[in-house]
Structure 1
């Protein structure tokens, strides 16, 4: 996925799809329904609104400051692309073969501490804005930094819009999760989750290939 060569619209679509695959609101829907069992529709909406707000804030923070943190630690974007691709591939495997990624296991998150706001934990962190989401944002941000200043500004703006659009979409998918589950059934959700896992796995491999090719170019200039 050589996103640096994409038009602004293509980059927006690529970023939106990538983030939606990583956040996986369809896969989270059964967990959200379980976590909010007994809540009224307005209460669920309020919980989701807080969760999405926190997730969006975390994501935008890493979009703005993430590359500076990497630079401070001496980590090249190519090295991060390789490690990030491996992490995303590890996230995709449980989606394909059943279950969730280690950072998104329902059994670890269904019960919080007394008085703990489930909108913050586990919904916002680590389920919505977990390591996979942060990694994807940083990788996409690195690909939007090529070209002249106008190109960079347009692609950075497209990435911000893609992040916002992905979380708004996740909000509505989760809010209507119970009805979606009744419509397509648990089996349908499993099938869709596996398809999304395959797509995420392909995206992860492409991130690794981009990192390797970028590192090779740095070494050889070819």
Structure 2
């Protein structure tokens, strides 16, 4: 009886961890803002089939990038001698800047110059560059993956992180593939409201990362 209770307790804890990791990754990934940027880079007469192909390729690229960062990111920073606590604080500051930007209703910033944007619009395939990297997998999402990688000390944590990446990338594909329909139904104001709500969550995660890094450093 005790063994059965312990087993189900561990399973529930794993599911809870997957849920919270998924929420964290999804809000920082912000596929709705990515979708809006995608539509601005595409021709207005592009077919739905082409949009689905771009969404699938971009989501696969995001999945591969996040998985690599999550699995080996902490070892790279350990090799460079970077403190995990310092990385948490700096990552939290980046997320805090993103959160303030989102709450103000500006959406994702791609840090692209005018020439880079024009070059992206002229490319036949924008799915990997710039849609997957650096628009989706930017500094905020990268530091989040690194923070999750540092915190992963058990196999359950690795299962939780990899599951969250898979779920979020699948959700990202669904949203990007259906972005014309979503934008039509929600409108600009609806997208901005959702973006502000996500900004509150990202801000909370940022504050938690900063306080956790400072506390462990002290």
Q: TM-score range by the shorter chain?
A: 0.7 to 0.9
- Between the aligned partners of 1:40 and 1:101, the Cα distance in structure 2 is 25
- Between the aligned partners of 1:203 and 1:99, the Cα distance in structure 2 is 19
- Which residue number corresponds to residue 45 of structure 1? 52
Match of 1:60 among 51, 59, 67: 67
- Asked if residue 121 in structure 1 is aligned to residue 129 in structure 2, the reply is yes
Match of 2:142 among 131, 134, 138: 134
Ranges in structure 2 where 5+ consecutive residues have no aligned partner:
1-11
Deviation string 1:167-199 (CA, Å, 9 cap, x unpaired) is 110111111111111212110110110110111
Shift of 1:49: 1.3
Deviation string 1:113-136 (CA, Å, 9 cap, x unpaired) is 544621111111111111111111
- Between the aligned partners of 1:118 and 1:107, the Cα distance in structure 2 is 16
Shift of 1:144: 2.2
- Which residue number corresponds to residue 177 of structure 2? 175
- Between the aligned partners of 1:156 and 1:88, the Cα distance in structure 2 is 22
**Cα-Cα RMSD:** 2.0
Shift of 1:104: 5.5
- Which residue number corresponds to residue 148 of structure 1? none
Ranges in structure 1 where 5+ consecutive residues have no aligned partner:
1-5, 146-151, 217-222
* Count of paired positions: 205
Aligned pairs for 1:164-203 (under 5 A) are 164-203=166-205
